Amino acid sequence: MRERRLVPRLALVLGFAFLYGPILSMIVFSFNNSRLVTVWDAAHSPTLKWYGALLHNEQILGAAWLSIRIAVVAASVAVVLGTLAGTALARLGAFRGRLLLAGMVTAPIVMPEVITGLSLLLMFVALGQLIGWPKGVGALTITLAHITFCMAYVTVVVQSRLAGFDESLEEAAMDLGARPARVFFRITLPLILPAIVSGWLLAFTLSWDDLVITQFVAGPGSSTLPMVIFSKVRFGVTPDVNALATIMVLLVATGVAISTVWMRYRERRRARDLQLAAAANL
């Protein structure tokens, strides 16, 4: 039985080394003075100069700000649409058009981004020709595109949460006199809130990070952060990108650490409550 454990464990260790090695290397070299990034300039490193350069880089800061704004809007709208779609698929049984909705909702998840991006741009152009809106491409078209592919992910998250949800809670609420709409807002929604929050975070990350689709539907005036980064790194490594990467990793790691601590705290409180109840034993 021992050998059964060895191979998987080894794969796990190697896998994590594989996953985190490049990230660590990026972080390490962000403190390297040399412009060549990967050739360590021992004489002048470690240094924070690339971080300083980053904070003064108008192009990057502007692009980051645009990306954040788009991501917040896109995630929020995607969450509303995704919750509607997830609710429809999980609760409305077999309705006309169910297969269509289910198909359209799962396709964006696997569809190659070049196809989605191309099709959306062509759609915006045709629409602009037909009714005069949208007038050219820009932040609005980017946001609309992001909402479209983000909602697919949110739908999957919400739908699977609702599928595992105890329906007798909703029935009990109706039995006590609440109409279906009220049942949804007072009972269902509060209980699936964690899924909705993680859906929002997922949508935010996908939007913030998207390159290919954005490239198709962005105009000359709007550059998101991924677009700026991509144009920089197409032709080689640049140290300020390393600095940017480090900052992002730090932000994500902090976020995860906070949420883990918060969840641990809640778990411990819950366990303690259960113990008290068992001790009361009636």
Partner 1 sequence: MTAAGDPDSAYVRMANLTKKFGDFTAVDAVSLDIRRGEIFCLLGGSGSGKTTLLRMLAGFERPSAGAIHIDGEDMSAIPPYERPVNMMFQSYALFPHMSVERNIAFGLEQEGLPRAEIRRQVGDILDIVKMGGFGSRKPHQLSGGQRQRVALARALVKRPKLLLLDEPLAALDRKLREHTQFELISIQQRLGVTCIVVTHDQEEAMTLGTRLGVMNHGRIAQVGTPSDIYESPVTRFVADFIGSVNMFEGRVSEDGAECVRIRSEELGCTVRAERSVHCVGGSTVWTAIRPEKINISRHRPLAASAQRADAAENVVRGTVREIAYMGDMSIYLVQLDSGRMMRVTLPNITRGTERGFAREESVWLSWHGSSPVVLTE
Partner 2 sequence: MARLTSAAGRRLIAGIPTGWLLLLFLVPFIIVFRISFSEVRLAIPPYTPLLTFRHGSPALELHWSAYQFLFTDPLYVSSYLYSLKVAAVSTLCCLALGYPMAYAIAHAGSATRPVLLMLIVLPFWTSFLLRVYAWIGLLKNNGVINNLLMSLGVIHHPLALLQTDFAVYIGIVYSYLPFMILPLYANLEKHDAALLEAAADLGARPARAFLRITVPQSFPGIVAGSLLVFIPAVGEYVIPTLLGRTDQLMIGRVLSDEFFENRDWPVASAVAILILLLLVVPILLFQRYQRRELEGAR
DSSP code of residue 177: T
Question: Which one, 18 or 95, has the nearer CB to partner 1?
Answer: 95
Partner touching 55 among partner 2, partner 1, none, CB below 5 to 8 Å by kind: none
Nearest-CA neighbor of 60 among 257, 281, 243? Answer: 243
Question: Which one, 129 or 168, has the nearer CB to partner 1?
Answer: 168
Question: 238: how many CB neighbours lie within 10 A of its CB?
Answer: 16
Task: Give me the least distance between CB of 218 and partner 2, in Å please.
Answer: 12
What single letter denotes the amino acid at residue 164? Answer: G
Phi/psi-derived region of residue 223, left when phi > 0, alpha when psi is between -120 and 50, beta in every other case: beta
State which of residues 53, 68, 72, 118 lies at the interface with partner 2 (CB under 8 A).
118
Angle between helical axes of 189-209 and 58-91 (0-180°, round to 10) = 140
From CA 78, how far away is CA 92, in angstroms rounded? 20
Binding mask 215-234 for partner 2 (x = CB under 8 A): xx---------x--xx--xx
Question: Which one, 75 or 88, has the nearer CB to partner 2?
Answer: 88
CA angle (128, 131, 135) in 5-degree steps: 35
What single letter denotes the amino acid at residue 170? Answer: E
Partner touching 58 among partner 2, partner 1, none, CB below 5 to 8 Å by kind: none
Question: Which one, 66 or 282, has the nearer CB to partner 2?
Answer: 66
Contact (CB, 8 A) for 62 and 274? no
Which residues form the interface with partner 1 (CB under 8 A)? 166, 168-169, 171-179, 182, 186-187, 190-191, 270, 273-274, 276-278, 280-282
Partner touching 282 among partner 2, partner 1, none, CB below 5 to 8 Å by kind: partner 1
Stretches 43-51, 57-65, 140-148, 273-281: which one binds partner 2 (CB under 8 A)? 140-148
Partner touching 15 among partner 1, partner 2, none, CB below 5 to 8 Å by kind: partner 2
Task: Give me the least distance between CB of 266 and partner 1, in Å please.
Answer: 11
- Residue 122 binds partner 2 (CB under 8 A): yes
What single letter denotes the amino acid at residue 281? Answer: N
DSSP code of residue 26: H
Contacts of partner 2 in 256-275 (CB under 8 A): 256, 260
State which of residues 31, 37, 74, 207 lies at the interface with partner 2 (CB under 8 A).
37
From CA 42, how far away is CA 34, in angstroms rounded? 9
For residue 277, count CB atoms less than 10 angstroms from its CB and return exposed for 0-12, middle for 13-18, buried for 19 or more: exposed
